[in-house]
Structure 1
Amino acid sequence: MSDLGGKSVIVTGAASGIGRATAAAFVAAGAKVIACDRADVSVDGATPMRIDAGDEADVAASVERACADHGGLDIFFANAGISGGYVGGIFDVDAAAWAEVLRVNLIGPALAIKHAAPRIAERGGGAIICTASVAGLRSGAGPAPYSASKAGVINLVQVAAQQLAGTGVRVNAVLPGLIETGMTQPIYDDARARGSEAAIGKLNPLRRGGEAEEIAAAVLFLASGAASYVNGAALPVDGGLSSSHPTSGRFTVGALRP
């Protein structure tokens, strides 16, 4: 992604997982990165900034910091998110838990678009990428509040792409499948404790879990000129999981069955 050199970039949720891997990838591509999180951020070559991605004043401050430090803003990766816990039945979650998941996972990206888009447009255009999830496509991949919030992100980028028509600002979502991060660590830890780690990711055609760096590569693509005609899109990066409903068998010719 050679055209990312010198670009001014904000990454939220950059203390770990997908955010950290993506901030590092932007730095490696020559971008000038503000790496934001509520926790301490340590990404070589990036400027750390403590923010709450669901707080409007904090999001606005991150945009102003990028403009002050780097002369403007070209790319915003609205990645910060929370699971809300893995007790996800609709009848198991109270209103406060719903509100917090939606505040961070859905309102956070909306605030990123609100504050970043005008400054990106001032530079002649650029990209906003929001982290959604395959859990936002259909049930069965996450707790109820998390899944609903990510479905909202998918719709949000479509709405934003339309409302930013003519500005040169592209808005897209990346939809990770199962990736080992701090958020999903309980799933991996439980599988390892039960001796079933080998089963992780077996529902997707690649039959493995993903790596944070694989999501970072997709984000850099969406941020780059290589994706100059991609707008309002939701890109699954999930090993093929969302290409079908999970089944216990494979509808393949017997001779080709693995």
Structure 2
Amino acid sequence: MARFTGKSVIVTGAGSGIGRAAAIAFAAEGARVVVADLTEGAEETAATIGPAARAIRIDAGREDDVLRMIALAEEAHGGLDIMFANAGISGGMANIFDTDVALMTEVLRVNLIGPFLAIKHAAPRIAARGGGAIILTASVAGLRSGAGSPAYSASKAGVINLAQVAAQQLSGSNVRANALLPGLTETGMTQVVFDHAREVGKLDRVGRLNPLRRGGSPEELARVALFLASDDASYVNGQAIVADGGLSSSHPVIRQEYGITAA
């Protein structure tokens, strides 16, 4: 497949996890990619991709950095067609009463102000090229309690709403905006969970609460992001697309077994 031949793409948080998998997948389908991250992972991902990628170190929640990133896409690749605002931080697992204002502020700055800045500054450039797509990484934690800290969950709920608002305010521009909501996925944020499970021989228990009974891989989530960025999703706009193995399809229940197993 070459759905993105000639397209200019930015992926933030591309130094690892879903962002890295998406950047590699975009390039494999013909895109020229700006690989953005706060860490040296940006250069590592770009080196993996090769000449089709340019690396830049940015803080996704700083406006000057976002402007530098978009300028690089325009200078190196002639414009911008797709923005995947994927960068985020977890904020730990403290409860409301143990979360201080500084932590809450920082999580919102990166996870919510970052996507806001991406939309604000990328959308006009994308529209100038005739249209394209913006994808924001939210989370199932933004749907309801139980999948993240208060700060993280609140920030991701905001991202879901931001995608909806953006879709409306970009009316007539031919720029689509959607949110991708991963469930438990093996990324830098969750690596300690997966690594510990491997060490104690209980990897099969990770993700067991969803009907697929496993965690997701970055590549699986990247494929959903690429779908949303592609013309295959040309009529998908302002949506929160969940990829969580079915976890959010049910309220908490005692699961019944029906004797249906894989062959």
Same fold (TM over 0.5): yes
Corresponding residue SS for 2:194? helix
Aligned residue number for residue 87 of structure 2: 80
Which position in structure 1 is the counterpart of 2:208? 202
> 1:13: which partner in 2?
13
**189-198 or 89-98: which moved more?**
189-198
Q: Deviation per CA, 1:199-252, whole angstroms, max 9, x where unpaired?
A: 1111111111100000110011000000000000110011111111232322x6
Segments of 4+ in structure 1 off by > 3 A? Answer: 189-196, 254-258
Please list, as runs of the form range in 1=range in 2, the aligned pairs for 1:64-213 lying within 5 A after superposition: 64-87=71-94, 89-193=95-199, 195-213=201-219
Task: Give a deviation string over 1:94-146, Cα, whole Å, max 9, x none.
Answer: 00000000000010000000000000000010000000001111100111110
Deviation at 1:191, TM superposition (A): 3.4
Superposed displacement of residue 6, structure 1: 1.2
CA distance in 2, matches of 1:96, 1:184: 23
Structure 1 residue 187 displacement after superposition: 2.2
Structure 2 counterpart SS, 1:236: strand
1:48 aligns with 2:55: yes
How far 1:182 moved relative to its partner? 0.7
Distance 1:255 1:73 in 2: 50
Conservation of the 8 A alpha-carbon contact between 1:130 and 1:172: yes
Consecutive unaligned residues of structure 2, counting only runs of 5 or more, are: none
Distance of 2:151 and 2:252 partners within structure 1: 21
Indicate if the aligned counterparts of 1:203 and 1:246 stay in contact, CA closer than 8 A. no
Q: 1:81 to 1:120 in 2, by over 3 A?
A: same
State the 1:256 CA deviation: 5.2
Instruction: Give 1:62's aligned residue.
Output: 69
Task: For residue 115 of structure 2, give the secondary structure of its aligned residue in structure 1.
Answer: helix
Identity %: 65
TM-score (norm 2): 0.93
Superimposed CA distance per residue, residues 172-211 of structure 1 (whole angstroms, 9 cap, x where no aligned partner): 0110010011111122234345543221111111111100
Query: Is 1:226 the equivalent of 2:209?
Result: no
Shift of 1:69: 1.1
**Partner residue, 2:252:** 246
Q: Please, what TM-score do these two structures have when normalized by structure 1?
A: 0.95
Asked if the contact 1:132–1:150 (Cα under 8 Å) also holds between the matched residues in 2, the reply is yes
Closer/same/farther in 2, CA of residues 205 and 73 from structure 1, 3 Å limit: same
Query: Does the residue aligned with 2:3 lie in a helix, a strand or coil?
Result: helix
Give the Cα separation in 2 of the matches to 1:169 and 1:256: 43
Which whole-Å CA distance do the structure 1 matches of 2:260 and 2:13 have between them? 42
Give the whole-Å Cα distance in 2 for the aligned partners of 1:125 and 1:15: 27
Distance 1:220 1:139 in 2: 28
Kindly state the Cα deviation for residue 19 of structure 1 after the two structures are TM-superposed.
0.5
Distance 1:193 1:4 in 2: 40
> For this pair of structures, how many residues does the alignment match?
255
Q: Does 1:237 align with 2:237?
A: no
2:29 paired residue number? 29
